[in-house]
Amino acid sequence: METKIIIDGSGAVFGRLASFVAKKALEGNEVIVINSEKTILTGNKKDIIAKYSELRKKGGHSLKGPKYSKVPHNMLKRTIRGMLPDHRKGQGKIALSKIKCYDQIPEELSQEKMVKINAPVKMKYIELKELSEKI
């Protein structure tokens, strides 16, 4: 039973959103995440920025990987990819092909019904858009 699930990522915790999307994609649903730049990473801003800056430096100067994108929707999709079994073949590859992430709301999806994931009440956090600008 394949259904289309549209998730509004604004205010949602990054890792929880990624695991939810991965689970739904593995069940066979087509999952679309909008406002992925407004998802939040909880914790100390300096620590988060240092961690992602270090990850980007590991890629080196050659054409080999690993490559970490600065674009918010690509950062989210890579995190979701890490929560799938094997994204290169089989079930994980099929699930990854059913996931789409967007930074804003595309016009064709603006009238659709969306699922909102609750945000934490009071925590230290950084938005994904702010993180991508600082690394």
Token pair in block for residue 9: 């990522």
58-92 pLDDT, tens per residue? 776 667 777 788 899 999 999 999 999 988 889 99
Which residues are registered as beta bridge partners of 116? 8
pLDDT higher than 80, residue 27: yes
Evaluate whether 31 touches 74 at the Cβ level (below 8 Å).
Answer: no
Torsion of CA 37, 42, 44, 46, to 10 degrees: -30
- Could you tell me the CATH number of the domain that includes residue 20? 3.90.1180.10
Q: Could you tell me the residue range of the domain that residue 34 belongs to?
A: 4-134
Please tell me the total count of domains within the chain.
Answer: 1
**11 pLDDT above the threshold of 80:** yes
Residue 1 confidence (pLDDT): 63
pLDDT: which is higher, 133 or 122: 133
- Please answer whether residues 71 and 65 qualify as being in contact, where contact means their C-beta atoms are separated by less than 8 angstroms: no
pLDDT at 60: 64
H helix intervals, 1-135: 14-26, 45-57, 72-82, 90-97, 128-134
Query: The whole model's pTM is what?
Result: 0.88
